[in-house]
Copies of this chain bind each other. A is one copy, B any other.
Amino acid sequence: MKRSGIVPAAMFIEGCLGMRKPTLEEVAVEAGVSKMTASRALRGVADVSSETRDRVIEAATRMNYVGNRLALSLSSQRTNLVAVVVPSMSNIVFPEVLAGISAGFDGSGMQAVFGISDYDVVKEREIIRDMLSWQPCAIIVTGLDQPEETVELLRHADIPVIQLMDLDGTPIDFNVGLSHGAAGEDMAEALIAAGRRRFGYVGSALARDLRAGKRKAGFERVLRAHGLGFAEQRIDDAFSSIALGKQLTTAMLATVPDLDCIYYSNDDMASGGLFACMELGIAVPQKILIAGFNGLDLVASLPAPIATSRSPRRAIGEAAAQLVRQAVVPDRDATQKTIVFKPTIVGIDGCEAAGPVS
């Protein structure tokens, strides 16, 4: 903790050479070579005799030398930072994506820098602007619906841009995710195929969580195609949670008790819906079928089966990391620009395969 320029002689005698963090120059002097040779030795590049290399490494180890990546990156004009912007950390979805990204960078020497936008496009832009000043070698953002100004910012950054989670739109550059419109369509088809006809919808924060809105729109497209529609909806401005799902479901069923299926903006909301039904003594799924989105681990352990679309969150993160790793090497033209995932619908009898609509 001490950053003292003057250190008592006794400290040196005790061998505390590393009180002030040593530079490569100091390591080089210690090893009796030039800075350049020390640099080569520590990086393991050619043109260094093994005796010299050993001497430098020994000195660096003894002095607790830690390289300075600021200088390295500035000098070599290369960075290993990857900026990542996600909208939220308040449910498990994005943490799993981040874990996938982080794991995908293992062994590559790349380092992810995360920012949380709270589903706020202005805050997202500020975070991106801030992160770009670190000269990242790539940037990963969530969704395809950034405002024009943010898109401009990303384009001017002159680095690979990966847009995550959503495929329904025009990507700037690279794109990894799934079609939420199709996910909503597929779920509706599956539920109708399972004999459900009287649908309700419970959602939250649709103005900010655009992907949930796309699922709902897809779902409604299929309902309309079958001459159906939502008999009732409950949408709140707050962010999704189990408690909110429970509350909105209870309220909705008080008004329209004869639904046979409720579609939720995600699994948190749907789990709350299940708990509401249990409290009301409504049989799930016999009387009301509950359908969410995400395929959270939670869902598999719930006391009654609910339907959901399993989104491969960790795999999406890992795929994004792979795209970055490929994109930062010189011959980029051959790399894939888009990676498409397709969620699997589970929790409806006879429907453990991918959804029927292609």
Contacts and interface: CB of A to CB of B under 8 A. Distances in A.
Given A113-B113, A134-B70, A298 B96 contact: no
Interface of A: 1-3, 18-21, 64, 66-74, 79, 89-92, 94-96, 98-99, 102-103, 111-116, 129-135, 155-161, 173, 241-243, 246, 271-272, 275, 278-279, 297-298, 300-303
A130 B102 contact: no
Given A74-B74, A297-B241, A98 B92 contact: no
Contacts of A99: 89-90, 116
Most chain B beta-carbon neighbours within 10 Å: one of A2, A74, A132: A74
Contacts of A73: 70
Most chain B beta-carbon neighbours within 10 Å: one of A130, A156, A272: A156
Count of identical protomers in the assembly: 2
Contact of A111 (B72, B130, B301): B130
Given A70-B73, A158-B3, A158-B21, A111 B111 contact: no
A90 B96 contact: yes
A155 B19 CA distance: 10
A277 to B, nearest CB: 10
B116 A113 contact: no
Contacts of A241: 297
Contact of A272 (B272, B279, B301): B301
Given A103-B116, A111-B130, A278-B303, 12 more contacts: A2-B158, A64-B156, A66-B129, A69-B133, A70-B70, A89-B95, A89-B99, A89-B102, A95-B95, A99-B116, A111-B115, A275-B303
